[in-house]
Structure 1
Amino acid sequence: MIVGTAGHIDHGKSSLVRALTGVETDRLKEEKARGISIDLGFAYRTFPNGERIGFIDVPGHERFIHTMLAGAGGIDFALLVVAADDGVMPQTREHLAILDLLAVRRGVVVITKADLATDERLLAVEIEIEALLSGSALAGSPVIPVSSATGLGVDTLEALLSQAAREIGKRSAKGRFRLAVDRAFALQGAGTVVTGTVLGGEVRIGDTVRVSPSGLVARVRSIHAQNEKAQIGKAGDRCALNLTGERIGRDAISRGDMIVDEHLHAPTARIDAQLSVLPSEPRPLGQWFPVHLHHGAAEVAARIVLLDDVQIAPGTSSVVQLVVDRPIAAMSGDRFVIRDTSAQRTIGGGRLLDLRAPARKRRSPERRALLQALALDTPRAMLAALLETPPYYVNLEQLARDLGLGSEETSTLYDDVIRIPPDSGDNVMAPSRWLRLRQGLLADLESYHAENPDQPGIGLERLRLMGEIRPPAPLFRLILQGLQRQGVLSLDGAWVKLASHVVRFSPKDEVLWGQVEPHLLGEERFRPPRTRDFANMLEVDEPRMRSLLKRASRMGLVHEVAHDSFFARVVVATIIEILQDVAGTKAKGEFTAADLRDRLDNGRKVAIEILEFLDRHGVTLRRGDLRRLNPHRLDLFGNAAGDEREASQTDFQEVNAERRDPVQARPVS
């Protein structure tokens, strides 16, 4: 168990810790000279029942509230100290408010200097404390008079702490490792050492970890847990880690950093959060309100973005977006505190919800529903709610990372999901939502074919936007590719159609097309005849020839690259492949119209027409006379064989739990 002190300056917090442990926590020369705590102090004691308890002694001066916050983030139990002579003071109230905001629910109030007070005075202070605690998380906590000088009440306090340690027990070591750094220093003969409270998971000697948010990689050379040598450090332990690695020096790590499992390194600078403003705040908080954000042992400047149209009044709560000046290492569910920019007062605090908050559309109904889901108490409840919230799918890998979950815990989140594996991780949908998506998609295709029988299909983006459920475009393409492999539909470049849908020429046009097609695919394919040329060559009316080629374009057989200039679809795909080859030989991948003209031997005018056509469709990106290919649009005209081969390696079917991820997944049907 980790116990943290709290209370006003000169109320005897350090003396109380010394009486309990025999350790002097004021180690700095200035602290000893001035008789006040300036930095965090640490002490440990093994109680007669075998419980080893760590103590974090925090400074009480208002100038060092930021230091108090750095130590309070990982405590299990609070020692709220009130001196018998002074009674409740300003920092008593502020420290108690901070404990409330950090959700510290267990504690005891100690009336120090009890040997110097009369019984009447002690009773008056107890009444004052009872009123102070009313409505707080520590309401109803024991109040014990103690004298660090004479030992009065120390035995009673020790017994209470020992009992609390048994009741609280050890924190679960499940999940991934996180340690909030509150000290970093160099030790002669050892190197870089960091200390802090393990917030989750466990770490062993030899493990590879990340320093976040910097991203530096380190190896754990040795561990001290609860001030004793150890092979392993677990959640709830005060740990010192001796770290080694490239660029791992004392100056590379500082208070506020996190030492984390490699999977958890994902710094963020924009977070949606639930914020409660203290009743003591003099005025409402408005848009873009500047604050100091305290999270773990970190302190960083931030701005508050309101997600409602009204300001946040004192004593009320609201969902907000926190925009921080520099990235921090955080987890969904972490507690935080905000103070004013002059460090004079604590404004409020709350709980982090979404670590990947968007800068746009942050007030939409979909965002509000998502944040309500993320505010639920358990990961399992969160996932169930998220799967019924737009966009109706969840990236399990990202959710597990943001919640600090390991593979074993992730496997318990959901019993029955449909897995959709994109490039970036495992996406899942609820079976009912998948069925609605699939049925709606096929119904939209059937309706489109009925209204447009002469069209070869519908564009991917248009089809995506027709649906009630609209996955992001990359995920939507993956879904379509899975359905194509099942034989339900067909993907042809930019077109989607039902597998059963066929567009045909009339018998008369079929004959004429048979005369046109060889010219579009033969030696003239890179400079095919224009509409008038075809009409003259085949001795048909120009309007009829134009009608035939327009129909062929709607059928997806050709593309009208320029007015009355039609290229076979497969030829356009071939030209894109040629441009990829050309770009591969050029510095920065940039090429000119002359480069294409020389490869196709089709004249400058036709080469420019082709490139302008590709410009319009986003396949090429032009800057002056130079162009480069857009890698995200290369498959627009059917050049997608490589992408489909890659996607086919992970089909929509039941995923072997031992091979991939332990969450059970049903096959898509």
Structure 2
Amino acid sequence: MGNSPIDGARALTLGTAGHIDHGKTTLIRALTGKDTDRLKEEKERGISIELGFAELELPGGRRLSVVDVPGHERFVKNMVSGATGIDLFLLVVAADDGVMPQTREHLRIIELLDIPCGVVALTKIDMVEPDMVELAAADVEDLLAETRYEGLAVVPVSGETGAGLPELLNALEAAAALVPPRPAYPATRLAVDRVFSLKGIGTVVTGTLWSGELRPEDVVAVLPRAASGRELNEVRIRGIQVHDRPADVAYGGQRVALNLTGVERHEVQRGQWVVRDPVVAPTFLADVSVQLLAEAPGALGRVSRVRVDHGTAELLAKLVLADRETLGPGESAYGQLRFEERALVYPGDHLILRSVTPVTTIGGGRVFDPAPHKHGTDPKWRSRLAVLETGPADDIAELLLAEAFPRGIARQRLEHSPYLWRFNGRKAVETLLAGGLAELGDGGLLFHAGSLAVLRGQVMEAAKERAAEDAANPFLTLGELRRAVARGREWPALEAALAQLQTAGDVVRSEHGVRWGEAAAALEGTDAAAAERLLETMTAGGADVPTPEVAIAAVGLLPADGARLLKALERLRRVVRVTEDLYYPSEVLDGLLARITAAIEEEGQITLAQVRDMLGTSRRYAQALLEHMDSEGLTLRVGDARRLRRRRR
């Protein structure tokens, strides 16, 4: 509804910067026709305190959202709130003053936030002689030469007379054309800078939409949760305005007002985010790279308390350096921010660091991991951050894959990982698969190939050791195998490794467990035949299974041979020892226990006498079966009855 980017050009936000009383607000009023000073105090004092907003239409028809920031040193945090999320800047320098302290600080902040393009407006040229304009322009060019912005267009203008405004608009249009595309973040988030309530409308929040799109009826979350507030995970957008006009969609880069339902005015505050489909959780920790300004008043120790400006929030945190004891002016390092309250930071986000007292800008940072563990000085930590910072994408994907082992990670989840947003995640994963660095298991899970190869080797070693220890029973149960190679856990990677080894014929998997592929079968020849006869005799007894001595004698075996075969059958899980001298064939026992369990489920409990009568057996066998169920954790004795135990889900 009138807010779509023109001719496919994406929406951009322009932020002003500059020293107090250099004419930023006057210039914006001349360019847009809108007065961005909105507070009574601002009108009375003639300075900007809060952020002001307007819309600027360029000669080619493209519209820019304009954020007018305060220039007074006491309101630098508000300046940072306006500067974060902008695409290009307009640095305002008065010709009668030239470069001043806040001019330098604002330009340093712009550089730390990695804002790519901009224009310098040399204002108040109607108040000075032409030679003063030239001196001021030279002063600005010297300042720009100290930064990445050397050679930026410097346009002399007057907000009062209108002189130079057409040239300034043309320069802004040229700069806008140079703004690179934003990373294709799948996340949609808006940094809240104002919250108010209107009669008959309800709660309204405004801010810059950093990425994604928002539409009326979208369900969003407000994050992080306020310290004394409730979870706001299902807030509905009733309506959207872009520069005072109703809109059916808001695009990343635009100034947006959202009318929210399901939330009260007092529950939302500046510094929070409106997020659709959150993919990163608020955190107390973030791994970052930090850069201290050359003008910083002094070095930081290994642990320093700092102010962190991010989005529209000002946070307090401890900065813990990764690999050094001090960080001097002009130096860079890796570190960890430990916030005093939860922050919502995404990989790639830029931060401004300011001293706690006196409050001054000392440097900046960039987030690489919004969900790290707390750690101190560790070379591995530094190496990990170096990979996350510089890539390439397939190195980051391999790192994430290795860290996900042995759980594995869904292919789509890895491709869309926040750590890969600034790259082509799908291409990175394809590169890993093609290079043999990743392996795809059942269910679409990806595993780190090197780690999976190590696990396969461990499985083979465990299987060979069992075969060497007990040729009669070379099988490892899954429980034994997990204890041997997986710390007793059900690792998805273990299932993947077993499937690969089984396909290759390196292991054999059956109802008895897992054995080395070259291990002999447990029982062969005459032993196998005798064991089957013994098993048949025991099975024929049903619930009244014969004792080992009786069964062995019945098939004509010597006691020693019968005991050896019975032991082999037990190891193969063909029979189960229930008491000292009572063995049940596994299939018989499973059937009996199933009948008892079904009876308890129907009646709620069962007594020994009831089991005896139901199975048509003696008290001895009924008691043995119930005590076995007790020992296996299947039943619980309550008085003379048994009840089923509640199993954990």
Range into which the TM-score falls when normalised by the shorter chain: 0.7 to 0.9
What corresponds to 1:144 in structure 2? 155
Q: Report how far residue 25 of structure 1 moved.
A: 0.6
Question: Does the 8 Å CA contact 1:227/1:238 hold for their aligned counterparts?
Answer: no
Match of 2:253 among 226, 236, 243: 236
TM-score normalised by length of structure 1: 0.73
Q: Report how far residue 353 of structure 1 moved.
A: 1.4
Secondary structure of 2:36's counterpart equals coil
1:272-287 to 2 correspondences below 5 Å: 272-287=287-302
CA distance change for structure 1 residues 9 and 230 in 2, over 3 Å: closer, same or farther? same
What corresponds to 2:233 in structure 1? 216
What corresponds to 2:390 in structure 1? 376
* Matching of residue 16 in structure 1 with residue 15 in structure 2: no
CA distance change for structure 1 residues 564 and 306 in 2, over 3 Å: closer, same or farther? farther
Distance 1:459 1:519 in 2: 24
Secondary structure of 1:272's counterpart equals strand
CA distance change for structure 1 residues 84 and 440 in 2, over 3 Å: closer, same or farther? same
Question: Does the 8 Å CA contact 2:348/2:367 hold for their aligned counterparts?
Answer: yes
* Matching of residue 317 in structure 1 with residue 332 in structure 2: yes
1:138-537 to 2 correspondences below 5 Å: 138-168=149-179, 175-213=186-224, 214-244=231-261, 247-262=262-277, 264=279, 266-308=281-323, 310-342=325-357, 344-359=359-374, 363=378, 365=380, 368-376=382-390, 382-383=396-397, 386=400, 391=405, 395-399=410-414, 402-403=417-418, 411-415=426-430, 417=433, 418-420=439-441, 427-429=445-447, 433=450, 436=453, 440=457, 443-444=460-461, 447-448=464-465, 451-452=468-469, 453-458=471-476, 474-480=491-497, 482-483=499-500, 489=507, 496-498=514-516, 501=519, 503-505=521-523, 511=530
CA distance change for structure 1 residues 303 and 523 in 2, over 3 Å: closer, same or farther? farther
Q: Report how far residue 562 of structure 1 moved.
A: 9.9
Amino acid at match of 1:243: L
Question: Does the 8 Å CA contact 1:210/1:260 hold for their aligned counterparts?
Answer: yes
Q: Report how far residue 104 of structure 1 moved.
A: 0.9
Question: Does the 8 Å CA contact 2:195/2:270 hold for their aligned counterparts?
Answer: yes
Unaligned runs of 5+ in 2: 1-11, 225-230, 434-438, 613-620, 637-643
TM-score normalised by length of structure 2: 0.74
Q: Cα deviations across residues 362-409 of structure 1 (Å, max 9, x unaligned)?
A: 9473x5554333223675664366558885965544445552989x97
CA distance change for structure 1 residues 455 and 154 in 2, over 3 Å: closer, same or farther? farther
Amino acid at match of 2:118: G
State the superposition RMSD in angstroms: 5.0
Secondary structure of 1:415's counterpart equals helix
CA distance change for structure 1 residues 505 and 171 in 2, over 3 Å: closer, same or farther? closer
* Matching of residue 57 in structure 1 with residue 35 in structure 2: no
1:629-640 to 2 correspondences below 5 Å: 629-631=647-649
1:505-654 to 2 correspondences below 5 Å: 505=523, 511=530, 555=572, 629-631=647-649
Question: Does the 8 Å CA contact 2:535/2:585 hold for their aligned counterparts?
Answer: no
Distance 1:596 1:629 in 2: 21
CA distance change for structure 1 residues 167 and 582 in 2, over 3 Å: closer, same or farther? farther
Amino acid at match of 2:13: I
Question: Does the 8 Å CA contact 2:402/2:451 hold for their aligned counterparts?
Answer: no
Q: Report how far residue 320 of structure 1 moved.
A: 2.1
Q: Report how far residue 67 of structure 1 moved.
A: 1.7
Distance 2:512 2:43 in 1: 75
Q: Report how far residue 169 of structure 1 moved.
A: 7.4
Q: Report how far residue 33 of structure 1 moved.
A: 1.8
Distance 1:257 1:583 in 2: 55
Larger deviation, residues 456-465 vs 368-377: 456-465
Secondary structure of 1:375's counterpart equals helix
CA distance change for structure 1 residues 130 and 600 in 2, over 3 Å: closer, same or farther? farther
Distance 2:102 2:552 in 1: 96
What corresponds to 2:640 in structure 1? none
CA distance change for structure 1 residues 170 and 285 in 2, over 3 Å: closer, same or farther? closer
Question: Does the 8 Å CA contact 1:87/1:125 hold for their aligned counterparts?
Answer: yes
Q: Report how far residue 28 of structure 1 moved.
A: 0.9
What corresponds to 2:92 in structure 1? 81
Question: Does the 8 Å CA contact 2:452/2:497 hold for their aligned counterparts?
Answer: no
Structure exhibiting the larger radius of gyration computed from Cα positions:
2
Amino acid at match of 2:385: L
Larger deviation, residues 60-69 vs 148-157: 148-157
Larger deviation, residues 198-207 vs 441-450: 441-450
Distance 1:599 1:491 in 2: 39
Amino acid at match of 1:78: F
Question: Does the 8 Å CA contact 1:170/1:236 hold for their aligned counterparts?
Answer: no
CA distance change for structure 1 residues 171 and 285 in 2, over 3 Å: closer, same or farther? closer
Match of 1:108 among 85, 96, 119: 119
CA distance change for structure 1 residues 123 and 265 in 2, over 3 Å: closer, same or farther? same
Question: Does the 8 Å CA contact 1:175/1:409 hold for their aligned counterparts?
Answer: no
What corresponds to 1:653 in structure 2? none
Q: Would you say how many aligned residue pairs link Structure 1 and Structure 2? A: 603
Distance 1:563 1:169 in 2: 78
Larger deviation, residues 440-449 vs 515-524: 515-524
Distance 1:522 1:442 in 2: 39
Amino acid at match of 2:352: V
CA distance change for structure 1 residues 317 and 229 in 2, over 3 Å: closer, same or farther? same
Q: Cα deviations across residues 317-369 of structure 1 (Å, max 9, x unaligned)?
A: 2222223333333322122223233470223322211223123699473x555
Larger deviation, residues 25-34 vs 114-123: 114-123
Distance 2:290 2:600 in 1: 52
Distance 1:595 1:104 in 2: 75
1:85-100 to 2 correspondences below 5 Å: 85-100=96-111
Amino acid at match of 1:374: L
Q: Report how far residue 57 of structure 1 moved.
A: 0.9
Distance 1:521 1:360 in 2: 64
Distance 2:519 2:338 in 1: 51
Secondary structure of 2:49's counterpart equals coil
Match of 2:77 among 66, 72, 78: 66
Q: Report how far residue 41 of structure 1 moved.
A: 0.5
Distance 1:598 1:316 in 2: 83
Question: Does the 8 Å CA contact 2:473/2:522 hold for their aligned counterparts?
Answer: no
Distance 1:9 1:582 in 2: 85
Question: Does the 8 Å CA contact 1:535/1:541 hold for their aligned counterparts?
Answer: no
Q: Cα deviations across residues 603-628 of structure 1 (Å, max 9, x unaligned)?
A: 9999889877879xxx99xxxxx997
